[in-house]
Amino acid sequence: MYRVFAALDELVTTVEEARGVPMTSSCVVPRGDLLDLLDDIREAIPPELDDAQDVLDQRDELVDTAQQQAHCQLEQARAEAERTVTEARAEAQRLVAEARARAESMVADAQAEAEHVVAAGRHEYQQLTGRAETEAERMTAAGRAAYERSVAEGRAEQARLVEQIEVVQAARAQAARIEEEAAMDVRRLRSECDTYVDSKLAEFEDLLTRTLRTVGRGRAHRNGPVPAGAGEYRS
């Protein structure tokens, strides 16, 4: 580029110092010198300027091509995004369906287990109640028999020792004590039976609570994060 500027300066100097034509604004310049300067300028001009001019000439075509490519890529990206969204939605629906099916299966299993535990507890309760009633009746009968036997013995003793009042009173007291002990045994057996049944029902309630919590955690894990405390069973 230095040669270009130097040739241009020399060209300007030549024109300024050229002999003027009288009565006109024209001048007489040496043609050969000017042509040599112009050749120097042409040779000194970098070839990149020609390439740049070609690029400028093809600018509109390049811009149109770039716009078409950009539009094509945009359409492809939009189609790819829609396909990805469709696949993601289908996958999400599949996962939700699987989670719902698994949760329903877990709930069904928990309900079946709960029904089984309830049935077993009811059967055991009925057995315990039946045994307790049988034992209570047996002890009541034994107590009644002991009472009657004691009364009979007391009456016999009273008949034999009618004048020994203290003996008669002792027999009556013994009979009352035996009857009271029999009644206390019956009440104790009933209390123990009720306590045992209540403990079994408490164990079943705890099992059912843990099962429902497990189901809640499974649903929370499949549906994503949930607020603290959500899905827990509260008795």
**pLDDT beyond 80 at 125:** no
Answer yes or no: is pLDDT of 93 > 70.
yes
The helix or strand, by DSSP H or E, that contains position 229, with its residue range, turns out to be none
Q: Are residues 39 and 90 in the same domain?
A: no
Say yes or no to pLDDT of 228 above 80.
no
Q: Has residue 233 been placed in a domain?
A: no
Instruction: Look at residue 233 in the predicted model and tell me its pLDDT.
Output: 43
Verify that 92 and 133 share a domain, yes or no.
Answer: yes
Domain shared by 41 and 118, yes or no? no
CB distance 103 to 217 below 8 Å: no
Q: Same domain for 33 and 121? A: no
Q: Same structural domain for residues 35 and 74?
A: no
> With contact defined as beta carbons under 8 Å apart, do 208 and 117 qualify?
yes
The answer, yes or no, to whether residue 229 has pLDDT greater than 60, is: no
In a domain, 232, yes or no: no
User: How many structural domains are present in the chain?
Assistant: 2
Would you say residue 6 lies in a domain? yes
Whether the model clears a pTM of 0.85, i.e. scores above it, the answer is: no
Note whether residue 95 is domain-resident.
yes
Percent of the chain clearing pLDDT 90 (strictly above): 0
41 shares its domain with 78: no
Structure tokens given for 42: 């042409």
Asked, for residue 101, whether it belongs to a domain, the answer is yes
Asked if residue 86 and residue 37 are part of one domain, the reply reads no
Q: Are residues 117 and 182 in the same domain?
A: yes
Q: Is residue 184 part of a domain?
A: yes
User: 148 and 200: one domain?
Assistant: yes
Are 79 and 134 contained in the same domain?
yes
Greater confidence (151 vs 217) lies with 217
Domain with 154, as residue range(s), is 70-221
Whose tokens are 């009565």? That residue is 23
**Residue 105 included in any domain:** yes
Which parts of the chain fold into alpha helices (H)?
Answer: 2-17, 31-44, 47-57, 59-160, 165-223
Asked if residues 178 and 142 have their Cβ atoms less than 8 Å apart, the reply is: no
Instruction: Kindly state whether residues 86 and 201 are assigned to the same domain.
Output: yes
**231 within a domain of the structure (yes/no):** no
Q: Which tens digits make up the pLDDT trace of 150-176?
A: 778 777 776 776 666 666 677 778 878
Do 43 and 76 belong together in one domain? Answer: no
pLDDT higher than 60, residue 124: yes
